[in-house]
A = this chain, B = another copy of it.
Amino acid sequence: MTDTKTLSTDIQEFLQSATAEEKEVLQQFLNGLKQKHAGDHPSYVSGWLQAEGKWNEDGSYQMRIPIHKGIQNPLEIVHGGVTATLMDTCMGTLANHSTPAEKAAVTLEIKVNYLKPGKGNYLYCRTEVISQSSKTLFLTSTIKDENDQTIAFGTGTFYVIDFLA
């Protein structure tokens, strides 16, 4: 178990030698952790992404995440794993929303095509259910930047399981 005092000292020490960029990344992570604490996220992963969800009237679902140094790769574009995580999170939320309350939907497979570098201030992911049976769901996701450029496209299959509370 993490001791608060030790953790606090650990952080103070880190801050003394941290670069400006590292402090910014820690601040971004803390923002996500506070959102998770406030109940805004089902997982620390979507907290880390600071993902904001929105239901559309046509049944699709979308998420927005802020771009910062903490999610970029060395080429200063959004890390491909983050793009995939955004899709999986967006698809997973919609898939679980689309299954009965006593069931859960887990990812069976996901494919992401990277079309343009992820740059700017935000990424927007829009997801829809294309087909659904009692046991599987198939979804597509389109990720755009703030200039409405499509930067990634994904397809995913989710499998419906009994939720073990």
Chain B residues, Cβ within 8 Å of A107: 80, 112, 114
**B82 A45 Cβ-Cβ under 8 A:** yes
**B155 A113 Cβ-Cβ under 8 A:** yes
Q: Which of A22-79 contact B (CB under 8 A)?
A: 22-27, 29-30, 33-34, 36-37, 42-45, 48, 69-75, 77, 79
Give Cα A162–Cα B43 distance, bound, in whole angstroms: 37
**B45 A23 Cβ-Cβ under 8 A:** no
Chain A interface residue bracket vs B: 35 or more
List, sorted by A's number, 17 A–B pairs whose CB atoms are closer than 8 Å: A8-B15, A10-B30, A17-B37, A43-B73, A43-B79, A45-B73, A48-B70, A80-B88, A80-B110, A81-B86, A110-B111, A113-B155, A116-B131, A130-B150, A135-B135, A153-B155, A155-B155
**A27 B10 Cβ-Cβ under 8 A:** yes
Give Cα A17–Cα B104 distance, bound, in whole angstroms: 31
| Copies of the chain in the assembly | 4
A159–chain B nearest beta-carbon distance, Å: 7
Chain B residues, Cβ within 8 Å of A114: 106-109
A81 touches which of B88, B113, B140 (Cβ 8 Å): B88
Give Cα A86–Cα B88 distance, bound, in whole angstroms: 14
